Amino acid sequence: MQNLTESQLQEIAESRSARSSTRRATSEGLEALMFEPAPVLDKGFVRVVDYMGDDAAVVQGARVSYGRGTRAVQSDRGLIRYLMRHRHTTPFELCELKLHVRAPIFVTRQWFRHRTASINEYSARYSVLEREFYVPDAGSVAAQSASNRQGRGETMAPAEATRVVEMLRDDAARCYDNYLWMLNEGEDGQARDETRQGVARELARINLPVGIYTQFYWKVNLWNLLRFLSLRADPHAQAEIRAFAEVIAAMVKAWVPDVHQAFSDYVMNATTLSGQATALLRAALAAPGPVDPASFGLSGRELRELVETVPELEGRILVGTRS
């Protein structure tokens, strides 16, 4: 694993080699991933450090049974799909996952907006941050989107993108060198100059850019985790946090495969239609010719999104009325 010290790798190896007998439910798929860092971006990772429950625990919670029960696996899978389809959320909340994450601070700012979790982050008031910064590759550098104020547009020309990458790297290095100078510390943690005091850590960190990596533990129940994935694994999410979400989604698939399949079918790959859109769709299917969408109260943007979702609708509405 990149950017981990020998002592950290040894600690992970010792954790993975330890074994405990238990009567609680375990997930064979997730057990295989325990403690192992899954790389994300250039220096980040996600690793599973603990969990509670499995697919059967969701079923048990829904039925309020005393154990795993004697019903067929197919029946359990059907119940999970019913719960997901009708958004009966509480049985999913009975499972929990605890992750250890290393991510850039600008990613964690988005991450921590999901407030339904327990979080403990590395403290830059107590400890010195590592010289680890996220720097995108030149192929990821894009211009501001003209249609989406919080998104990217076309990829920039190679020469300009390379200059951006070099600027980000140089600025990060300079800020970190100044950070260490203010702390009066070297890379080895020893004082640089015995004749002066270092600035307090809580002040020295101020000028560090949001591209610096931090670490945190994140414990979340399964339903709120799925809610996180529905937003952050979506194609509209920022690429960097989406990279983390996609790694976590793979972990969820290994942990609770039936829940993950239902989530994929009824949330990630599903579409929710408004009442107006549903009425228009029904009218378009029933009418012998094209219908006028103007009377259904949809904005131009809503109408375009509906046609993107259901391309077959294109020939069933009056194109001239679409704004």
- What CATH code is assigned to 6-128+211-268? 3.30.1360.170
217 within 8 A of 47, measured Cβ to Cβ: no
Q: What is the pLDDT of residues 9-40, one digit of tens each?
A: 898 898 888 888 888 889 999 999 999 999 99
What's the CA gap between 197 and 116, in Å, rounded? 41
134 within 8 A of 42, measured Cβ to Cβ: yes
What is the Cα gyration radius of the chain? 25
Alpha-helix runs per DSSP H in the chain: 6-17, 28-31, 55-63, 73-85, 105-111, 158-183, 201-204, 222-232, 239-255, 257-263, 275-286, 300-309
Residues tagged active-site? 232
Nearest to 290 by CA among 263, 252, 319: 319
CA distances from 50 to 100, 118, 216, 221, 283 (A): 9, 13, 14, 12, 51
Residue 291, Cα to own-chain centre: how many angstroms?
Answer: 41
254 within 8 A of 31, measured Cβ to Cβ: no
Give the other-Cβ count within 10 Å of 236's Cβ. Answer: 10
Residue 95 makes CB contacts below 8 A (sequence gap 6+) with: 51, 52, 53, 54, 57, 58, 221, 222, 256
Query: What one-character-per-residue DSSP string does 93-143 give?
Result: GG-EEEEEEEEEHHHHHHHTT--SSEEEE--TTTSPPPS-B----GGG-EE
Q: What is the pLDDT along the chain (323 residues), one digit of tens a residue?
A: 567 888 888 988 988 888 888 888 899 999 999 999 999 999 999 999 999 999 999 999 999 876 665 566 679 999 999 999 999 999 999 999 999 999 999 999 999 999 999 999 999 999 999 999 999 999 988 888 777 777 787 888 999 999 999 999 999 999 999 999 999 987 777 888 888 899 999 999 999 999 999 999 999 999 999 999 999 999 989 999 999 999 999 999 999 999 999 999 999 999 999 999 999 999 999 988 899 998 899 998 899 999 999 998 888 888 655 44
Query: What one-character-per-residue DSSP string does 161-201 give?
Result: HHHHHHHHHHHHHHHHHHHHHHHTB-TTS-BS-TTSPPPPH
Q: What is the pLDDT of residues 180-233, one digit of tens each?
A: 999 998 777 788 888 889 999 999 999 999 999 999 999 999 999 999 999 999
Structure letter (DSSP) for residue 268: I
CA angle 152, 153, 157 (to 5 degrees): 110
- Encoded tokens for 177: 């060198």
Q: Give me the long-range contacts of 87-91 (CB less than 8 A, separation at least 24).
A: 88/62, 89/223, 90/61, 90/223, 91/58, 91/59, 91/61, 91/62
In this prediction the pTM is 0.90
Amino acid at 311: P
Give the other-Cβ count within 10 Å of 66's Cβ. Answer: 7
What's the CA gap between 51 and 255, in Å, rounded? 9
